[in-house]
Amino acid sequence: MKEEISRAVEEILGLTGTEDALSEGIIQGSNESSVILETPPDSKMGDIAIPCFVFAKILHKNPAVIAADLKNGLEQKKEELGLDEVISTGGYCNLFVNRKLFVENTLTKAADGNHGVEKIGEKKTVCMDYSSPNIAKNFHVGHLRTTVIGNSLYKIYDKLGYNVVRINHLGDWGTQFGKLIVAYKKWSSKEAVEKNGIQELLDIYVKFNNEKEEHPELMDEARSWFVAMEHGDEEALSIWEWFKDISMVEFERVYDMLGISFDSYTGESFYREKVPALVELLKEKNLLIESQGANVIDLSEYDMAPCMITKKDGSSIYHSRDISAVLYRKEKYDFDKCLYVTGLEQSLHFKQVFKAIELMGLDYYKDLVHVPYGLISLDGEKLSTRTGNIIYAEDILNEAVKRAYELIEEKNPSLENKGEVAKKVGIGAVIFHDLFNQRIKNINFSWKEVLSFDGTTGPYVQYTYARAKSVLRKYGKELQCTLTDCQALTDDISFAFIKTIGGYEKAVNAAAESYEPSIVARYLISLCTDFNKFYQKCPILKEENVKTKVARLYLVYVTSQIVFECCGLLGIECPEEM
């Protein structure tokens, strides 16, 4: 409807395709209109408001005059546009839609197989690089952020019809493994690692970083072991493979709890053998220079530090492995877009990598997108495995499930499958807490906030779903999944709620466009809030008018479907009962 109204406005004001309108950004030179349509602050003022101030510069008229002209033009198109009334007030033209027609169109669209969301990504491929924990380090709360943000973006893009390749670019190569080998040989043993697993590896890693302050020669040993790895030393690679196997057991346990999987686990080690070919390619393009023994791409012209390709000892580095990964992914997947969900502190790194791809003459550099997220701190201090200042993701998830179970025991002890429901509610609370915040926002970790079940939380939206399903169960009859009486849903409360339902597609598209799952999370809160208002104000099962009762039940059914799917886009499961 809004698209039709936008086009009608362009036509009435004579703006279609005009150079002035295009240059001012009032309309676009494509099939999509961008005439500004707003929602009035009070529904008594209308359902849609068109601010006319933006047209004044082009039309050289007073906004109030433009609004009056627009009113006269739209009055003639009321029926075809589905409008009941058009009024002009000041510099605004306000529209009241035909409620019955709007209800019918919105709910018919919302109840289709894709709930009104168009498959705009069909035949397009998106590579999505996220999670990517470092081998031999516990999966901590920082890894949790990239994992749940990336998983939600995967689900959102999948919903839009894109072919999404989920890549876990494991941090399984680099000097840190030289550090670990030194630490293992000096302060640990096979028995200790087998007994304590990844915790032993973390403990000796922290010990190494403490000891190297007084014994800098330890770093020389670490670098030597990493160079040995790069050159295929059997002992070094054997220890590295062992550490990697131990780590993957830990990671998979957390991924199973979250219900997350990947299409590829090709980490940094996979690309080390591709770096020599990259070096030759960069030499052919005259991009590689020597700097203090290292090979680099000079980026000073772009106000960036040099992009290092190989260190002075000849070993690869993050930049060279990431550039190699871009080339490989383009060749293997022919992506239309490649997203990197990593911390904000890696912004410079990806700017360097993307600029290197551009300088290589590869036009798909513009399809590479860094999706940064803010840091998580503990009592104001940055989380760090080097210092041991960390919170483990598994501990958070287990504690959340435990507290959810205790709450169920208190509120609904007779509930069946309490353990299963507690897992969905507890883990859902952790995921929602993260995704409700804008991803770029820095977060100070707080057990109280993460595990709160009150207010704008995961358990609140899960409870709303359970409430809707309970209403449908209590009805006790098979509900005809078609809308039979639109007029019964045109009261103020129902109509306001249905307008919220109609915003689902916009929320999903906006989340994909800005790589921001919080848009879906906040839409979900609005949807649940309006549903609960509808539930309280509009009798459903006690409604005596049969047609009205069935219409409201149909609205409950559509709501349950969208809440369930919306939670799914965030990676949250919904229990049928709570």
Would you say residue 189 lies in a domain? Answer: no
pTM (two decimals) = 0.90
- pLDDT per residue as tens digits for the range 221-259: 999 999 999 889 999 999 999 999 999 988 999 999 999
Active site residue 143: yes
Give me the catalytic one of 71, 77, 119, 140.
140
pLDDT > 50? residue 319? yes
Active site residue 319: no
Structural domains counted in the chain: 2
Would you say residue 104 lies in a domain? Answer: no
The domain boundary residue, chosen from 41, 70, 97: 97
Pair 66, 52: CB distance under 8 Å: yes
Give me the catalytic one of 137, 370, 423, 424.
137
Three-class SS of 14-41: CCCCCHHHHHCCCCCCCCCCCCCCECCC
Would you say residue 292 lies in a domain? Answer: no
Would you say residue 559 lies in a domain? Answer: yes
Residues whose CB falls within 8 Å of the CB of residue 419, separated by 6 or more in sequence, listed in order: 405
The domain boundary residue, chosen from 40, 62, 97: 97
Give the type of residue at 165. V
- Which H or E element spans position 546? helix 546-570
- On the CB side of 558, how many CA atoms lie within 13 Å of its CA? 30
The domain boundary residue, chosen from 97, 124, 139: 97
Q: What is the mean pLDDT of residues 475-490?
A: 81
The C-alpha atoms of residue 304 and residue 553 are separated, in whole angstroms, by 60
Would you say residue 407 lies in a domain? Answer: yes
Angle between helical axes of 518-537 and 418-436 (0-180°, round to 10): 120
Would you say residue 126 lies in a domain? Answer: no
More confident residue, 375 or 544: 544
Give me the catalytic one of 60, 123, 124, 143.
143
pLDDT > 80? residue 450? no
Q: What is the pLDDT of residue 540?
A: 96
Would you say residue 551 lies in a domain? Answer: yes
- pLDDT per residue as tens digits for the range 161-199: 999 999 999 999 988 999 999 999 999 999 999 999 888
- Using DSSP's 3-state secondary structure scheme, residue 125 falls into strand
Q: What is the pLDDT of residue 22?
A: 39
Range of the domain at 513: 401-570
Active site residue 140: yes
CATH value at residue 488: 1.10.730.10
The C-alpha atoms of residue 424 and residue 161 are separated, in whole angstroms, by 27
Q: What is the mean pLDDT of residues 278-299?
A: 95
Task: State the pLDDT confidence band at 88, using cuts at 50, 70 and 90.
Answer: very high
CATH value at residue 16: 3.30.1360.70
Would you say residue 350 lies in a domain? Answer: no
More confident residue, 541 or 449: 541
| Beta-carbon count within 10 A of 340 CB | 26
